Amino acid sequence: MPKFEECLQRLEKIVQELEKGEVPLEKSLTLFEEGMQLSSACRKELENAEGKVEVLLKQNGKLQAQPFEHLNENVSERTGRVKS
């Protein structure tokens, strides 16, 4: 399976191609399907990475996972999306 960065670059190219509106319908559907698969693969990889980066804190005698915030900020910067 391609690396996250490769998937993201391919996904960006697909979006650009579809936004031009010059692609025939059948090719648009094929590109859309590929884009959805890439999006799903990227999301799964991000979720796995987030799980690995969690910081464990001991509070009230229990281990509690706390997400590492810098991961979300970096993803927002790379994708150009505003962190909510």
One-letter-per-residue 3-state SS of the chain: CCCHHHHHHHHHHHHHHHHHCCCCHHHHHHHHHHHHHHHHHHHHHHHHHHHHHCEEEEECCEEEEECCHHHHHHHHHHHCCCCC
Please report, for the chain, the start and end positions of each structural domain, with discontinuous segments joined by +.
4-79
Average the pLDDT over each of 1-5, 35-39, 48-52, 71-75 and give the range with the smallest value: 71-75
66: Cα separation from own chain's centroid: 20
Measured distance CA(80)–CA(14) in Å, rounded: 16
Share of the chain above pLDDT 90, in %: 48
Chain CA centroid to CA 39, Å = 6
Q: Is pTM, for the whole model, over 0.75?
A: no
| pLDDT tens-place string over residues 35-67 | 999 999 999 998 887 777 664 444 555 666 666
> What does the pLDDT read at residue 37?
95
In this prediction, residue 41 carries a pLDDT of: 92
